[in-house]
Amino acid sequence: MKISINVIGLGFVGLTTALGFSEKKFDTVFVENNKAKFDIIQKGKIPFKEPYLDKILKKNIKKRNIFFSPKPKILKNNTNVIFICVGTPSRKNGSIDLKHVIKAIQEISNIVNKEKVLIVIKSTVLPGTISKKLNRIIKKKNISICSNPEFLREGYAWKDFIKTDKIVIGYKKKEDLNILKKIYKKFSGDIVADTTDTAEFIKYLSNSLLGNLISFSNEMTIIGENNPKINIKKSFNAVKLDKRWFGYPAMISTYLHPGLGYGGYCLPKDISAMNFMSQESKINNGIIASTQKINKLIFIHQAKKIIKKFKTNQKIGILGVSFKPGSDDIRSSKSLDIINFLIKKGYKKIYTFDPIVKKGSLGKISKKIKHSNFLKKDNQMKYVLCTAWKEYISFLKSEKNLDYIDLRYLI
């Protein structure tokens, strides 16, 4: 069955999206209810500045696979895929206004009869919006909704869409995922598919990270400029020379990963010192203080998973004692924090495993545990992955019928 594409909302995201599909030879309906904007685009002009779009629009109009309409067009005997790219502006209290999204969905519902229609939300909406709100609007079984958030940078929108690094799809029905995979088969980029809630969250996770990096840089600038002898520009440029920002094995992306928090020697010490210095100088250091706070909160959050799943009289195997794989450093090791937590909660059958950490280096805690550098399967044991040693990840993946908790999100 042929795929027919509609794109509702011809702003920065919508026009780029519509042109991208038409460039890939899909028949695409450009939908815009703002008459002034609609007239401008229909004449082959762009109502805002964005590189490449004007040339692509004029070229594809000549190809005659672009159709303009103030309302979506539903074609019989086609799979109608309708991308909603309308705005979700902020209200005064900071919440987003969904009225344009809801209006578009209602308009689609009113004109659909028995045709198969897949609505795809590109507009930025909070996690749970589709599953808890938008799905309730749909009353017809032949209409379903997916999430497909955008990651376009102004000034680079065309390049980001045509040669994207990722295509995020949130879906409920497998057939809907297959339709979107068929569309995006013509594009570059890894497909990340999961629930609509996950897809919506990925968008906010991405933007929040970027915002945090900017705020972190600015907070460090405020702290640094408290000392007139510090060259801020040179300091940041020096950090950017770190090879971990580039395509080396130890990429910076390894720091962007859920887990037990940071440990070792440097990060706990340096962040603690920076926090103290800022407080002593009476400088607002919200991000650094929060970094320490979250590092404690995430440990409690993860540790509670163990006592919720495993009983105190069961054998608990802690996989990994060092603060990170490839090291025997146990300073500020979250694994040791987990062990101490379990001991305080009354667990008496604790077994620890680490390829290189010796029992003699564990101090007082060694009297309350059984430690080994060698791991063997024990069907009576409940395992907790605390350090991401490759051999332990392989063990949990390969051995069947193991009861375990992965606190490193790698299995």
The model's pLDDT over 258-273, given as tens digits with 9 standing for 90+, comes to 999 999 998 999 899 8
Share of the chain above pLDDT 90, in %: 83
The model's pLDDT over 264-315, given as tens digits with 9 standing for 90+, comes to: 998 999 899 889 989 988 988 889 999 999 999 999 999 999 999 999 999 9
Residue 209, both tokens: 């990270």
Give strand ranges (E) for 171-235: 190-194
SS3 201: helix
Dihedral in degrees, nearest 10, Cα atoms 368, 370, 371, 377: -140
**C-alpha–C-alpha distance, residues 234 and 274, integer Å:** 19
- 85, 146, 266, 386: the active-site residue: 266
Domain ranges across the chain: 2-204, 298-406
Closest to 19 in 3D by CA, of 71, 85, 75: 85
The model's pLDDT over 122-140, given as tens digits with 9 standing for 90+, comes to: 999 999 999 999 999 998 8
Pick the CATH number of 298-406 from 3.40.462.10, 1.20.144.10, 3.40.50.720, 3.30.200.20: 3.40.50.720
**C-alpha–C-alpha distance, residues 180 and 195, integer Å:** 14
* CB 60, CB 66: distance < 8 Å: yes
The model's pTM: 0.88
Kindly write down the DSSP assignment for every residue of 276-324, as one continuous string: HHHHHTT---HHHHHHHHHHHHHHHHHHHHHHHHS-TTSEEEEE--SSS
Residues in Cβ contact with 185 at an 8 Å cutoff, skipping those fewer than 6 apart: none
Residues in Cβ contact with 21 at an 8 Å cutoff, skipping those fewer than 6 apart: 5, 7, 28, 183
Residues in Cβ contact with 398 at an 8 Å cutoff, skipping those fewer than 6 apart: none
pLDDT of amino acid 297: 92
The model's pLDDT over 394-403, given as tens digits with 9 standing for 90+, comes to: 999 999 899 9
Closest to 339 in 3D by CA, of 302, 380, 309, 368: 368
Q: Is the pLDDT of residue 63 over 90?
A: no
Report the CATH number of the 2-204 domain.
3.40.50.720
Share of the chain above pLDDT 70, in %: 99
Is 85 a catalytic site residue?
no
* CB 371, CB 352: distance < 8 Å: yes
